[in-house]
């Protein structure tokens, strides 16, 4: 039976990448050692991390005046690192679009000398849309405006970015980095956990504009962006194997034609699922059409029992991890870059059969 993994993360990785990692697992380039066993100061690993950075810069068109950092602690640690580095004794503005934005806001609010302000929210309609932000709402002396480009749980995402004037736009891009053609130059800082579109968990990517690096050293060296940039992400032992896997994923994506090509593929995959949901009398997607996510697609029936039955039967057919997040209920299909079109086709066929069997 073919297994299709719809997990929101850690997520499916490209098969050619896993095969390449398998081939090289015991003996990396004739060294007689696994990548996991290489010193992070060795020339072999130096080459891996340099290549990973070069590839990511190319894929995302990262301008010269931005640093690319390979860190640890997940996007969750960045919720705190970001305000500590950029917003002490300043205002930090946030848009509240759902579960992940809320966590970012809470982390900033926990720092006494950061003046956290939520300037827009879609909580009034259960986070089913992206709230508009006008330039007038943005205090021009703020350290940044933080958005979550894709809410992994609610399934909403930014199609157009807010105009922030001179205030740097900062993004948690964990669930749609490398899936959309966002331009790095439109952001001051981008951060993302790796485990959806980049590689295994354990690696966190931070892309930061040079002039936003902290002037004062931070009390915690590991959280200090300037120190991490000066150390080329090697202040301590970096997550070497995750960085190696990320490099292989970047190569795979480059060979496919880069982000513009994968975007078309992602649009086909998500398009097929949304069309099926929209045509159905049984399933629905609660999100405002213009704000629909390409990568995380919640759908549900109006009966909890039917949702349960669907998830159970789907799993028996090899559709894994379709259960929606507990805060939303129903189902959720996560269709990151490595998820195959055939898996979406198989799912929509199954949804249609299920609907027929239930009187549709
Ligand atoms: N932000 C978003 C949008 C996410 O989807 C997640 C995890 O799923 C996180 C942050 C938290 O990431 P991490 O587990 O890497 O800390």
Query: Contact 149/172 with Cβ under 8 angstroms?
Result: yes
pLDDT of residue 163: 96
Question: Helix or strand or coil: residue 300?
Answer: strand
Residue 107 makes CB contacts below 8 A (sequence gap 6+) with 76, 79, 80, 83
Rounded Cα gap, residues 322 and 299, in angstroms: 10
Q: Which of 40, 4, 17, 16 is nearest to 194 (CA)?
A: 17
Whether the predicted pLDDT of 156 surpasses 80: yes
Distance from the CA of 101 to the center of ligand 1, in angstroms? Answer: 10
Whether the predicted pLDDT of 22 surpasses 80: yes
Whether the complex's predicted ipTM surpasses the cut of 0.85: yes
Residues 80 and 228 in one domain: yes
Rounded Cα gap, residues 178 and 358, in angstroms: 38
Instruction: Confirm or reject: Cβ of 74 under 6 Å from ligand 1.
Output: yes
Residues 59 and 123 in one domain: yes
CA-closest residue to ligand 1 atom 12? 75
Distance from the CA of 277 to the center of ligand 1, in angstroms? Answer: 26
Residues 339 and 194 in one domain: no
Q: What is the pTM of this model?
A: 0.98
State which of 241, 256, 271 marks the end of a domain: 256
Three-state SS across 202-267? CCEEEEEEHHHCCCCCCCCHHHCHHHHHHCCCCCCCCCHHHHHHHHHHHHHHHHHCCHHHHHHHHH
Domain range enclosing 73 = 26-256
Residues 70 and 158 in one domain: yes
The reply, when asked if residue 172 is annotated as ligand binding, is yes
With 0-12 / 13-18 / 19 or more C-beta atoms within 10 angstroms meaning exposed / middle / buried, residue 183 is exposed
Distance from the CA of 151 to the center of ligand 1, in angstroms? Answer: 9
The number of folded domains in the chain is 2
CA-closest residue to ligand 1 atom 4? 174
Instruction: Confirm or reject: Cβ of 9 under 6 Å from ligand 1.
Output: yes
Q: What is the pLDDT of residues 87-125, one digit of tens each?
A: 999 999 999 999 999 999 999 999 999 999 999 999 999
Instruction: Confirm or reject: Cβ of 224 under 6 Å from ligand 1.
Output: no
Average pLDDT, whole number, for the chain?
97
Whether the predicted pLDDT of 359 surpasses 80: no
Residues 347 and 216 in one domain: no
Average pLDDT over every residue of 301-325: 97
Distance of CA 344 to the CA centre of its chain: 20
CATH number, residue 270? 3.90.1150.10
Scan for tokens 């943005």, then name that residue: 138
């Amino acid at each position: 039976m073919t297994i299709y993994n719809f997990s929101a993360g850690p997520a499916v990785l490209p098969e050619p990448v896993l095969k390449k990692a398998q081939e090289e697992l015991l003996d990396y380039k004739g060294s007689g050692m696994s990548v996991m066993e290489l010193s992070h100061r060795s020339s072999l690993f130096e080459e891996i991390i340099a290549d990973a950075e070069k590839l990511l810069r190319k894929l995302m068109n990262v301008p010269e005046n931005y640093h690319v950092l390979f860190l640890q602690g997940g996007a969750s640690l960045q919720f705190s690192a970001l305000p500590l580095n950029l917003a002490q004794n300043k205002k930090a503005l946030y848009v509240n679009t759902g579960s992940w934005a809320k966590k970012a806001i809470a982390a900033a609010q926990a720092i006494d000398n950061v003046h956290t302000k939520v300037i827009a929210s879609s909580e009034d309609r259960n986070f089913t849309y992206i709230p508009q932000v006008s330039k007038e709402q943005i205090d021009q002396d703020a350290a940044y405006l933080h958005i979550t480009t894709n809410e992994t749980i609610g399934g909403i995402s930014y199609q157009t970015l807010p105009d922030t004037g001179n205030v740097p736009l900062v993004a948690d891009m964990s669930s749609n980095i490398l899936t959309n053609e966002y331009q790095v130059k439109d952001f001051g800082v981008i951060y993302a956990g790796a485990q959806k579109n980049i590689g295994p968990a354990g690696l966190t990517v931070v892309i930061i504009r040079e002039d936003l690096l902290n002037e004062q050293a931070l009390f915690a060296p590991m959280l200090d962006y300037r120190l991490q940039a000066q150390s080329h992400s090697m202040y301590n032992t970096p997550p070497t194997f995750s960085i190696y896997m990320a490099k292989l994923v970047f190569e795979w994506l480059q060979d496919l034609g880069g982000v513009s090509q994968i975007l078309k593929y992602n649009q086909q995959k998500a398009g097929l699922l949304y069309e099926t949901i929209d045509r159905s009398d049984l399933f629905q997607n609660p999100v405002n059409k213009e704000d629909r996510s390409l990568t995380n697609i919640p759908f549900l029936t109006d009966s909890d029992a039917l949702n349960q039955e669907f998830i159970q039967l789907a799993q028996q057919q090899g559709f894994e991890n379709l259960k929606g997040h507990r805060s939303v209920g129903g189902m959720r299909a996560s269709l990151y870059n490595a998820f195959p079109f055939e898996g979406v086709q198989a799912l929509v066929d199954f949804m249609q059969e299920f609907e027929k069997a239930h009187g549709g």
